[in-house]
Amino acid sequence: MIALFLGLGAVGCGLLKQEEPEKKAFGVACTKDTDCASLQCAATGSICTKSCTYDRDCGDGLVCRAKDTGSGMECSKAQGSKVGASCTAATECDHGFCLKKADAPNDPGFCSATCQGPAECPEGYKICDTLTASDTTKMCILGDDRIPIGERPKFTAPTTTVKTTTTATSTATATATATSTASATPTATTTATTTPSATATATATASATTSTGRPRIKLDLGKTKK
């Protein structure tokens, strides 16, 4: 009997192990973060991914792309326009960066990527530098690296607006409106309830005034003497 129970226990453990799917390796197709050993499934290309800074961190056929939401970068499939192409939003570019002139943020910009030197950037975008003094990662920027630093145009990388912020704001507004309406209703009811009391008081006062008028005086003239 003991051997039988031990055998059944071993079979049960084996079934439990089979039910748990094996985590997928880097670069394998995925649908959600928990599919991957790294617990990261790239939104662009839907592959198991990892954090990165440069294309060389990802390997052949992949690029180091800025995340569409949140901050940071991850290895993704190269989907979108290449570095130097015109763009209006970061999601149009294969590296997830659309640089625009600092003094004209509403004008079209150009797709960019991180770099360690001018050799990693295409012709016409050979300035490999940080966008601001506080940045630590360099990017391919429009122009020639022979242009003096003080004469180079300034560019920015607008961030993607997260749609969930608008939804949360709308929900909060609706909740506040409903709360205000519910709070105002009892006030109106109380006012209406006190009206009859005021009327009753006024009626009672009027009655009291009428009943407290001048008393009638009865004159007894008696009979006329003969």
| Within a domain: 36 | yes
| Within a domain: 223 | no
Residues 84 and 134 in one domain: yes
Distance, in Å, from the CA atom of 27 to the CA atom of 30, rounded to the nearest integer, reads: 9
Longest CA–CA span in the chain (Å) reads: 150
Last residue of a domain, one of 160, 189, 215: 160
What is the average pLDDT score of the chain?
73
Residues 75 and 94 in one domain: no
Find the domain containing 33 and state its range: 22-79
| Within a domain: 201 | no
Backbone angles phi, psi at 147, to 5 degrees: -70, 130
Predicted local confidence at residue 9, as pLDDT = 56
List pLDDT tens digits, range 115-132.
Answer: 999 999 999 999 999 998
Residues 53 and 98 in one domain: no
Residue 121 vs residues 80, 90, 154: alpha-carbon distances, Å: 17, 18, 18
Output 36 or 168, whichever has higher pLDDT: 36
Residues 74 and 51 in one domain: yes
Alpha helices (H) along the chain? 2-19, 163-211
| Within a domain: 16 | no
Residues 71 and 134 in one domain: no
Distance, in Å, from the CA atom of 226 to the CA atom of 220, rounded to the nearest integer, reads: 18
Greatest mean pLDDT among 35-39, 196-200, 201-205, 220-224 = 35-39
Q: In the chain, how many domains are there?
A: 2
Q: Is the pLDDT of residue 134 over 80?
A: yes
Residues 112 and 154 in one domain: yes
* 84: Cβ contacts below 8 Å, ≥ 6 apart: 110, 111, 122, 124, 125, 140
List pLDDT tens digits, range 168-211.
Answer: 444 444 444 444 444 444 444 434 333 444 333 333 333 333 34
Distance, in Å, from the CA atom of 79 to the CA atom of 222, rounded to the nearest integer, reads: 126
Last residue of a domain, one of 79, 105, 128: 79
| Within a domain: 130 | yes
Backbone angles phi, psi at 207, to 5 degrees: -65, -40
* 176: Cβ contacts below 8 Å, ≥ 6 apart: none
Predicted local confidence at residue 51, as pLDDT = 96
Last residue of a domain, one of 110, 125, 160: 160
| Within a domain: 208 | no
